[in-house]
């Protein structure tokens, strides 16, 4: 029983921590973020499995985590409010060619990040060529050119 509860607790705890840390943690990983993820993974693994290295325990933990994931995707499909709460929503960084400075500050995205996305995705070289830049739920920046 405790394997299910521990796996569920760690899942929700990590979900909250990653959600609090903001959009950019998911995709724009620095070296420090990478080390942090490794340490978090190791600590979580120990917290979930404890001293039980049996196959049964592994099956229970994996099944619990997958089931929670399926359950949450179902809940998010049914409730837009919960979807926004759990996944967040897209945020506009450049609106009709105008930089949204406050939003960029809050999301810790600077102009160079937008330019990088513009170069990679659209082959654009200047900010004035961008009509919309949107920080998506998964942390990617989408660029819509003028």
Name the site residues for other proteins (rule: CB under 8 A): 1-4, 51-57, 59-60, 63-64, 66-67, 70
How far apart CA 98 and CA 129 sit, in angstroms, is: 11
Q: Which of residues 49 and 140 has its CB atom nearest to other proteins in the complex?
A: 49
Cα-based torsion angle of the residue sequence 95, 114, 105, 16 in order, rounded to the nearest 10 degrees: 100
User: CB of residue 60 vs other proteins: minimum separation in angstroms?
Assistant: 4
Q: Which two tokens stand for residue 115?
A: 């330019």
Convert 33-97 into a string of H (helix), E (strand) and C (coil).
Answer: HHHHHHHHHHHHHHHHHCCCCCHHHHHHHHHHHHHHHHHHHHHHHHCHHHHHHHHCCCEEEEECC
Q: Which is nearer to other proteins, 24 or 76 (CB)?
A: 76
Whole-number minimum distance, CB 77 to other proteins, in Å? 14
Identify which of residues 52 and 111 has a Cβ nearer to other proteins in the complex: 52
67 or 144, CB closer to other proteins?
A: 67
The two three-digit tokens of residue 22, written as one number: 């903001």
Distance CA 6, CA 43 (A): 13
């Amino acid at each position: 029983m405790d394997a299910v509860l521990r796996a569920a607790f760690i899942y929700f705890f990590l979900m909250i921590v990653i959600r609090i840390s903001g959009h950019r943690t998911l995709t724009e990983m620095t070296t420090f973020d990478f080390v942090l993820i490794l340490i978090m993974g190791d600590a979580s693994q120990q917290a979930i499995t404890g001293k039980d290295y049996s196959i049964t325990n592994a099956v229970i933990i994996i099944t619990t985590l997958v089931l929670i994931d399926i359950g949450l995707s179902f809940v998010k499909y049914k409730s837009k409010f919960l979807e926004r709460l759990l996944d967040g929503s897209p945020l506009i960084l450049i609106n009709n060619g105008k930089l949204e400075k406050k939003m960029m500050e809050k999301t810790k995205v600077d102009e160079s990040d937008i330019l990088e996305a513009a170069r990679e995705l659209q082959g654009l070289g200047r900010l004035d060529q961008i009509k919309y830049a949107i920080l998506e739920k998964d942390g990617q920046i989408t660029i819509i050119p003028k």
